[in-house]
Amino acid sequence: MILTWIYWAICLFMVILVLRSLYREKSLREQWVAAMVLVPLLLRVLMIK
């Protein structure tokens, strides 16, 4: 159970970093990449299989 929460926390941390990158990025291509990367991370944070 502890491992699950550690995993969840890492995912949440990643979501925050990618979101930060998404909104700071000035290149449209890089914004699109960040948005796509964000989706599976969000699913993991929301624990949706």
Partner 1 sequence: MFEKRYLGSRFTASLMLVAAIAITAVSGLSYMKMREPGPDIDRVVPHAGFEHKRLSDWFEGLAGTPADTDIYVQEGAEPGGTVLILGGTHANEPAGVIAAVVMLEQADVKRGRLMIAPYANPMARTHTFPQDAHPQTFSFRTPNGVTRAFRYGARITNPVNEWPNPDIYIHPESGQTMAGIERSNLNRAHPGVADGGATERLAYGFMELIKQEKVDLAIDLHEASPEYPVVDALVAHERAMELAAMVTMELEFEGVPIRLEPSPKNLRGLNHREWGDNADVLAVLLETCNASAGRFRGRTDEALILTGEDKAYEKAAGLGRLYVPWESFDKRFEERVARHVTTVRLLADNLEFVREGKGVTVEGLPAYQELSDLGVGAFLSD
Residues that bind partner 1 (CB under 8 A): 22-23, 25-32, 34-36, 38-39, 42, 49
Q: Which residues contact 37 (CB under 8 A, 6 or more apart)?
A: 18
Q: How far apart are CA 45 and CA 11, in angstroms?
A: 6
Q: Locate 38 and state its tokens.
A: 């964000």
User: Quick one: 13 or 32, whose CB is closer to partner 1?
Assistant: 32
Q: Which is closer to partner 1, CB of 8 or CB of 31?
A: 31
Query: Nearest distance from residue 22's CB to partner 1, in Å?
Result: 5
Smallest distance from partner 1 to CB 15, Å:
11
Using DSSP's 3-state secondary structure scheme, residue 27 falls into: coil
